[in-house]
């Protein structure tokens, strides 16, 4: 399951991250977390105040990882279009979906302001980062003056998140890939 050198708290966080992605908040019971992490109940409550505290830590970790992965692409070389394309075309487990985006479909996460906050912050960061890249492209004359950075950013995030939904519904990454190709053709300079 987990490498023996991983601390109990890290095993609990990792197990919770996986279970939230697979089952959602309600389906992620303390017992399931403990079993997946190979940790006892006492260990869980020694490190975390309860399931909400552990879930919040796991959601924050997932959000941080998503931002870091996106930033590695956004901060790379290339034009604005090339960096956005690299983000859209990067390797993903499309049929598994987005671990952050999937949380928006979880009523318990959305109803709890503390649990929802890292999700909102991450999606806001993503739109803001993409909008800044589009603005760079506008400033360099790469995109036409009609391009609105915030709207393009929203379209990119919607394409990715909606692409996950379409791919999962059809059981094939083809719908995701088609959405990405369509958006890139609309964004292509020239």
- Report angle CA 123, 137, 64 to the nearest 5 degrees: 25
Classify burial at 152, counting beta carbons within 10 Å of its beta carbon; exposed 0-12, middle 13-18, buried 19 or more.
buried
Give the pLDDT confidence of 81-109 residue by residue, as tens digits.
Answer: 999 999 999 999 999 999 999 999 999 99
pLDDT given at position 38: 92
pLDDT for the residue numbered 45: 86
Confidence label for 127 from pLDDT (cuts 50, 70 and 90): very high
Burial 4-30 (b: 16+ CB within 10 A, else e): eeeebbebbbbbbbbbbbeebbeebeb
| Per-residue pLDDT band at 42 (split at 50, 70, 90) | confident
Predicted confidence at residue 6, as pLDDT, reads 79
pLDDT at 182 over 90: yes
Contacts 24+ apart (CB under 8 A), 43-48: 43/8, 43/12, 44/12, 47/8, 47/9, 47/12, 48/9, 48/12
Domains of the chain: 8-187 (1.10.357.10)
Check residue 44 and give its pLDDT.
Answer: 86
CB 74 within 8 A of CB 133: yes
Residue 173 has pLDDT above 90, yes or no: yes
Residues in the chain: 190
Which H/E stretch holds residue 3? none
Express as a percent the part of the chain with pLDDT over 90: 87
Burial of 119 (C-beta count, 10 Å sphere; 0-12/13-18/19+): buried
């Amino acid at each position: 399951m987990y490498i023996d050198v991983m601390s109990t708290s890290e095993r609990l966080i990792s197990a919770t991250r996986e279970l939230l992605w697979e089952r959602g908040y309600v389906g992620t019971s303390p017992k399931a977390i403990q079993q997946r992490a190979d940790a006892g109940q006492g260990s869980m409550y020694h490190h975390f105040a309860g399931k909400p505290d552990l879930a919040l830590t796991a959601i924050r970790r997932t959000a941080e990882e998503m931002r870091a992965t996106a930033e590695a692409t956004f901060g790379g070389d290339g034009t604005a279009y090339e960096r956005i394309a690299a983000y859209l075309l990067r390797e993903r487990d499309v049929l598994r979906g987005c671990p952050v985006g999937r949380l928006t479909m979880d009523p318990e996460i959305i109803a709890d302001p503390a649990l929802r906050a890292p999700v909102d912050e991450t999606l806001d960061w993503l739109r803001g980062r993409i909008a800044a890249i589009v603005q760079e492209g506008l400033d360099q004359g790469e995109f036409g003056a009609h391009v609105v950075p915030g709207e393009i950013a929203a379209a990119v995030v919607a394409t990715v998140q909606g692409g996950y939904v379409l791919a999962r519904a059809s059981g094939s990454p083809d719908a995701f890939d088609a959405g990405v190709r369509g958006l890139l053709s609309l964004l292509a300079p020239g």
